[in-house]
Amino acid sequence: MADTDDTQSIGGPPVNPRTDPADHTPADLATLPAEAATQPGAASPVTGVEMSALDSQPNGVGTVPYEFPLRHPQKLWHAGTLTYTFGGLITIFLLLLGGDFALSMRDRSIGAPIQYMLKRLYASDTLIAVCFSVLPPLLGLILAPVVSFKSDRLRSRWGRRIPYLLVPAPFAAVAMVVISYSEPMGKMISNVVGAERISPNQGALALFIPAWTMFEVAAVTAGAVVNGLINDVVPRPLLGRFYGLFRAVSLGAAMIFNFYLIAYSETHYRAIFISLAAVFLVGFAAMCVGIKEGEYPPPEPVDPSDTATRRFSKSISIYFRECFNHNYYRWTFAAMAFAACAFLPVNLFTVLYAEQLHITKQTVGNWLGITYACSFILAWPLGWLVDRAHALRVSMIVMAVYAVVMLVAFAFVRDGKTFGAALIIHGVLSGTYFTTSAALGQALFPRMKFAQFASAGGLVQSLLTIGLGLGLGQLLDRTGHNYRLTFAIGGVFGGLAVLSMIVVYAGFQRFGGRTAYVPPV
């Protein structure tokens, strides 16, 4: 990576607008991305897909002077003040995908071995439920807004995202090692303290609980910031295809674990945990060291006379005022939350519905394998389509199809064969939506405060998900476990998502549409 006065180049020669000849032709204006603008106060133009100058305007609209892009012997891609050659683009993709692979392996493979270990330690079902269903969303509700808000406003020699990704990685690795050896260390604690005071299993759980909490803190922190890093360093016109690759990597991680590792989850869990720790540490370290962030406008000034308590209360006020005062963003958060909840009912009760229909676990696994394979194959073409047609348009169409299909499934699913068909279609369409909507936040939220707005959307989604989970469980209990209702509820939430997206799309058009969109602030 090499820096110049005005641009930073990765994987290729730097481009300096002061020395390279510019060709100011009318054709350049037609091909200039609508988001291209200069950095506030910059001595020379920054061409590419930078939104910061527009975002810095008081009302988020208006004209900002710019110069036309420069002609160069090889094609260049821009993300803010960063400039990439084709080789640099491949490098940045590989580094980001390595970090995503680490997160994906953690999400896709840690559940089964942890559950086997906890069962061996005679942990209660309540403890298992708290570890998997309560602790992660609770930490997300608390940590994600704070970390996102802070990272948007951090300015350091490492950038604004890298510190929040690099620091948690060693803690996550150490936590996984402690979890791996919690059983032998629990026996050591029992021997030292006395088995009559604490049993080996209790000693192991006493180590497991704080280690698991530390691991989840690191994972939630990294998850809240990694999309912000992608927002800052990946060129806008390639986001759809990039997230298509992300989906392919995530699905590939799932297939690797299910095909090759899940059989060893109970007998070789320690080796799996240590391997995950190594993958997490190496993947994130390589990503953080190899990627260089660009330059950002300065954040809002902070009153030095404010106490820590007053600064915290001001931050909370700014967070909720900026994220929730504008009707456009409230509808956007609602649309994303409704869409996420549309898939939840079927996903939660697939296994129980299959058992009710006397379908074997292997058969269900085969059906899910088909959905993974379909999603893997479709990931790149869908990413290409998003880059051509826009994430909001494609996601809205996919969600409309999903809502109709789920209502049809509610009407026609009666046996194992119809259930299998509905489950496969559900899996393919939900995977399609996750791929097409992956870049939706980057497409709609202010670029300089993307992580903050994304965390606000996650906050709404978490609250709605918790409420839906509790209400859905009670409904199924009162209807004698009529799991066919999960298709109807999924269809209803899908319809609500589509209606919300229509409102969002009207606002999107009002704020410039696909060719001149500027997020309101």
Largest interatomic CA distance in the chain? 85
pLDDT of residue 51: 38
Whether residue 3 has pLDDT greater than 50: no
d(CA 32, CA 186): 63
d(CA 56, CA 58): 6
The total of other beta-carbon atoms located within 10 Å of residue 435's CB is 30
33/364: higher pLDDT = 364
DSSP string, 306-320: S-HHHHHHHHHHHHH
Name the token pair of 446.
Answer: 């202010």
What amino acid occupies position 100? D
How many residues comprise the chain?
521
Whether residue 97 has pLDDT greater than 60: yes
What domains can be seen in the chain, in order of their start residue?
Answer: 1-84 (no CATH), 100-246+258-299 (no CATH), 315-516 (1.20.1250.20)
For 44, residues 6+ apart whose C-beta sits below 8 A from its C-beta are 5, 6, 17, 18
pLDDT of residue 300: 82
Whether residue 283 has pLDDT greater than 50: yes
pLDDT of residue 112: 66
Name the token pair of 384.
Answer: 């290409």
Q: Of 9-13, 197-201, 295-299, 325-329, give the range with the top mean pLDDT.
A: 325-329
**pLDDT, average across residues 264-287:** 82
* R_g over Cα of the chain: 24
Q: Of 11-20, 117-126, 308-317, 384-393, give the range with the top mean pLDDT.
A: 384-393
Q: What is the pLDDT of residues 405-441, one digit of tens each?
A: 999 999 999 888 999 999 999 999 999 999 999 889 9
pLDDT of residue 306: 79
Whether residue 26 has pLDDT greater than 50: no
Whether residue 36 has pLDDT greater than 80: no
Phi and psi torsions of 460, nearest 5°: -65, -45
Is residue 479 classed exposed, middle or buried when 0-12, 13-18 and 19+ CB atoms within 10 A define those classes? exposed
Whether residue 269 has pLDDT greater than 90: no
Partnered with residue 83 across adjacent β-strands are 9, 78
Check: CB of residue 439 under 8 Å from CB of residue 243: yes
Task: Choose the weakest-confidence range: 104-118, 174-188, 401-415, 432-446.
Answer: 104-118
Whether residue 138 has pLDDT greater than 60: yes
| Nearest by Cα to 246 from 289, 276, 287 | 287
pLDDT of residue 398: 97
For 333, residues 6+ apart whose C-beta sits below 8 A from its C-beta are 323, 324, 456, 457, 460, 461
In the numeric block, the tokens 């032998």 are attached to 184
| Nearest by Cα to 442 from 144, 227, 162, 155 | 227
Q: What is the pLDDT of residues 184-234, one digit of tens each?
A: 999 998 888 888 888 988 899 999 999 999 988 988 888 888 888 998 999
Contacts 24+ apart (CB under 8 A), 263-271: 265/112, 265/113, 265/116, 266/113, 266/116, 269/113, 269/114, 269/116, 269/117, 269/180, 270/180, 270/181
pLDDT of residue 258: 64
Check: CB of residue 324 under 8 Å from CB of residue 330: yes
**pLDDT, average across residues 13-42:** 37
Side-chain half-sphere CA neighbours of 71 within 13 A = 8
Whether residue 455 has pLDDT greater than 50: yes
Q: What is the pLDDT of residues 225-251, one digit of tens each?
A: 888 899 899 998 888 888 888 888 778
In the numeric block, the tokens 């002609």 are attached to 71
